[in-house]
């Protein structure tokens, strides 16, 4: 397992423990990824069709994760 994979697994396990979830949703997984610091800085290499619009953002863009909900927990 690479360092990146290990960090991701640890972050998902922490999210599950803190939020009491056995099976996080895809939205939960994206939240963890964003909180780890990942940002969409390049165009997609996947062809998802016309229903999915691609975009990019600055590498230092905020996560966009609602911190108020986190503080209330």
Average pLDDT over residues 43-69: 89
**Residue 11 domain-assigned (yes or no):** yes
**Residue 24 domain-assigned (yes or no):** yes
Would the pTM of this model clear 0.95, i.e. be above it? no
List phi, psi (to 5°) of 70: -65, -40
Task: Provide, rounded to the nearest whole percent, the portion of the chain with pLDDT above 70.
Answer: 90
Report the distance separating Cα 3 and Cα 59, nearest Å: 21
Q: Which range marks the domain in which residue 7 is found?
A: 1-38
| pLDDT, tens only, 2-17 | 999 999 999 999 999 9
**Residue 50 domain-assigned (yes or no):** no
DSSP assignment of 7-39: HHHHHHHHHHHHHT-SS--HHHHHHHHHHTT--
Q: Is 64 left (phi over 0), alpha (psi -120 to 50) or beta?
A: left
**Residue 49 domain-assigned (yes or no):** no
| Residue 37: count of CB within 10 angstroms of its CB | 10
The per-residue pLDDT for 46 is: 93
Average pLDDT over residues 56-61: 96
Considering its fold, how many domains does the chain have in total? 1
């Amino acid at each position: 397992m690479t360092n990146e994979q290990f960090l991701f697994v640890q972050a998902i396990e922490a999210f599950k423990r803190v939020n009491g979830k056995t099976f996080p949703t895809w939205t939960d997984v994206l939240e963890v990824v964003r909180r780890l610091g990942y940002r969409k800085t390049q165009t997609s290499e996947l062809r998802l069709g016309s229903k999915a619009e691609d975009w990019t953002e600055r590498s230092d863009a905020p996560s966009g994760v609602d911190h108020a909900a986190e503080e209330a927990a």
